[in-house]
Amino acid sequence: MIKTLAEILDDLMSELVTRTPFTNLHPSAAIRGLLEVIAKVVADLYGLVKAVMGQSFVQTAAGEWLDLKVREMGITRKPAVKTRVYLTFSRNAPAEQNITIPAGTICKSRKDNSGNDYRFLTLNEEVMEVGQTEAVVESEAEQPGTGWNVGQETITRMVTRVTGIDAVTNAVGYLIREGSDPESDEQLRQRAIGTWETLGLGGTREAYRTWALSVPGVIAASVLVDFPFGPGTVGVVILGENGAPTPELINEVHQYIKARKPLTADVRVLAPEVVSIDLALEVTRYAAAAQNFVDTSVREVVGEYTRQLQLGEGLVLARLIDRVMDIDGVYNVRIVSPTADIPIGVDRFLVVGELEITHRIKGRSYQDGGIDGSGGDETTESAQIMDVNRELFGIE
């Protein structure tokens, strides 16, 4: 039992009165001051014991303590990984002479919604030969992390100028390897707990899932049941940091599992089937809220919601509505399409295609943004509606 400082001090004073002739325990008494010092030392020891006990179990350990604990099981935290991409350097006209693109050439992406851009460095020297207009060079993010998983055709700025090169971009099929953040405490903890399933002679479903999650870049995995490709087969579906995994990540997972699976098992690692849906929302905002702000906020919230969807997780309308309603200035939201939740299978991954937003205004512009008002709903394409003559309404 962990005692508080007050409880420890009470116990000390009670024992002192019982066992000694001291009776003056007033706060100004010297003996009281000595007891308070002793109580503080004992309380600190209790705190140390509590901390050590909490860090002694996988379920409650954190940070470096958790790293040390799972190392007893032969597990290490998955490190952060740098994004690797193909960059396409191009000219407006065929090259009249060989153009060398040096290793270490720096390019960066356009700024995202948060004002951040991301730099990439070419990994090797490449030559655009005479008569060519394009050269593809393998490149790597400057730093590890998921932030460098930028979208297609967003790396368009050259920091290092290369004479003879007019443009650069990351074209279709640019992604070689997704970047990832260091494994979180909770992810490491769950993987450590699942490791017990990998210690048997056979391969359980949880064992295959744990093996897949042990590869950096894999954020979710599911195992297909009932021999999906015939007797003795196992199907493992994985999800990468950027959604559908790259061929390189699929191969890494396959090789990792192959080295650990039962000899008789035929394992196939697959990318999930991508299910794309279109969303149509009707958003009613207060008159004081700017349409551009609400529109941008809704799109960011929907994007964040879909990015957090896991493998096999479908669309739950109530969860999406709840997030949109948290946006400042939003009075109400209605999902026009789809009209019901969309469940999906364990081997599928949900993404949102088109997002259509219809804006409505609640009340009139002379009403305070926090007052619901009655009636006066108006659909408009503009950010504001006409002001009402305040004098006629007696509004100061």
Instruction: Show which of 271, 304, 331 is a domain's final residue.
Output: 271
* Strand 348-362, strand 273-286: pairing: parallel
Q: Is residue 191 part of a domain?
A: no
pLDDT at 92: 94
What does the alpha-carbon distance between residue 245 and residue 177 come to, in Å, rounded to a whole number? 8
Instruction: Establish if 194 belongs to a structural domain.
Output: no
Q: Are 287 and 385 in contact (CB under 8 A)?
A: yes
Query: Torsion-angle region of residue 256: left (phi > 0), alpha (psi -120 to 50) or beta?
Result: alpha
Q: Which two tokens stand for residue 353?
A: 């295609």
**What CA–CA distances, in Å, run from 396 to 37, 41, 118, 342?**
64, 64, 51, 50
Contact 227, 221 (CB under 8 A): no
Whether residues 331 and 264 share a domain: the answer is no
* pLDDT at residue 198 in the model: 65
Q: Would you state the structure tokens that stand for residue 269, as one six-digit string? A: 């690692």
User: Per-residue pLDDT tens for 255-299?
Assistant: 999 988 888 889 999 999 888 899 999 999 998 899 999 999 999
| pLDDT number for residue 201 | 54
- pLDDT tens per residue, the chain (396 residues)? 778 888 888 888 888 888 888 878 888 888 888 888 998 999 888 888 888 877 888 888 888 889 988 888 888 899 999 999 999 999 999 999 999 999 999 999 998 877 889 999 999 999 999 999 999 999 999 999 988 999 889 999 999 999 999 999 999 889 999 999 999 898 898 888 877 766 665 568 888 988 998 898 888 888 887 788 888 889 999 988 877 888 999 999 999 999 888 888 899 999 998 888 999 999 999 988 999 999 999 999 998 888 778 788 899 999 999 999 999 999 999 999 999 999 998 888 898 889 999 999 986 444 444 444 444 454 444 444 444 444 544 443
pLDDT of amino acid 194: 76
> What is the per-residue pLDDT for 286?
92
The total number of structural domains that make up the chain:
4
Task: Kindly report the number of other CB atoms within 10 A of residue 354's CB atom.
Answer: 9
Task: Tell which residue, 248, 245, 250, has the closest CA to residue 311.
Answer: 245
What pLDDT score was predicted for residue 384?
Answer: 42
CB 283 within 8 A of CB 360: yes
At residue 341, the pLDDT reads 94
pTM of the model: 0.59
Kindly state whether residues 238 and 295 are assigned to the same domain: no
Q: Mark which of 227, 245, 271 sits at the end of a domain.
A: 271
Q: What is the domain-level CATH number for residue 222?
A: 3.30.300.30
Asked if residue 78 belongs to a domain, the reply is no
Query: Are 236 and 258 in a shared domain?
Result: yes
Examine the domain organization and report whether 282 and 386 are in the same domain. Answer: yes
Assigned domain for 357 exists: yes
Structural domain including 141 reads 84-177
| 225 and 256 within one domain | yes
- In a domain, residue 73? The reply is no
Give which of 303, 312, 247, 241 is closest to 274, Cα–Cα.
312
- Residues 285, 223 share a domain: no
Amino acid 363: pLDDT: 65
Please give the structure tokens belonging to residue 383. Answer: 């950010």
Kindly report, residue by residue over 13-48, the tens digit of the pLDDT: 888 888 888 878 888 888 888 888 998 999 888 888
- Domain boundary (251, 271, 291) is at 271
State whether 278 and 388 are in the same domain. yes
On whether both 278 and 266 belong to a single domain, the answer is: no
Q: Tell me if 62 is assigned to some domain.
A: no
On whether both 294 and 350 belong to a single domain, the answer is yes
Domain identity same for 160 and 208: no
Query: Is the four-CA dihedral 165, 168, 173, 178 of positive or negative sign?
Result: positive
Look at residues 229, 185, 234 and name the one whose alpha carbon lies nearest to residue 212. 234
Asked if residue 268 lies in contact with residue 227, where contact means CB atoms within 8 angstroms, the answer is: no
- Specify the residue for token string 């997780």: 313
141 within a domain of the structure (yes/no): yes
Please indicate, yes or no, if residue 292 is contained in any of the structural domains: yes
Supply the pLDDT for residue 385. 42
Q: Where are the beta strands (DSSP E) in the chain?
A: 84-90, 99-101, 106-109, 119-122, 126-128, 134-141, 155-158, 167-169, 175-177, 218-224, 233-240, 266-270, 273-286, 330-337, 348-362, 378-379
pLDDT in tens, 187-223: 898 888 877 766 665 568 888 988 998 898 888 888 8
289 and 262 housed in the same domain: no
Q: Give the model's pLDDT for residue 74.
A: 82
Could you tell me if 260 and 208 lie in one domain?
Answer: yes
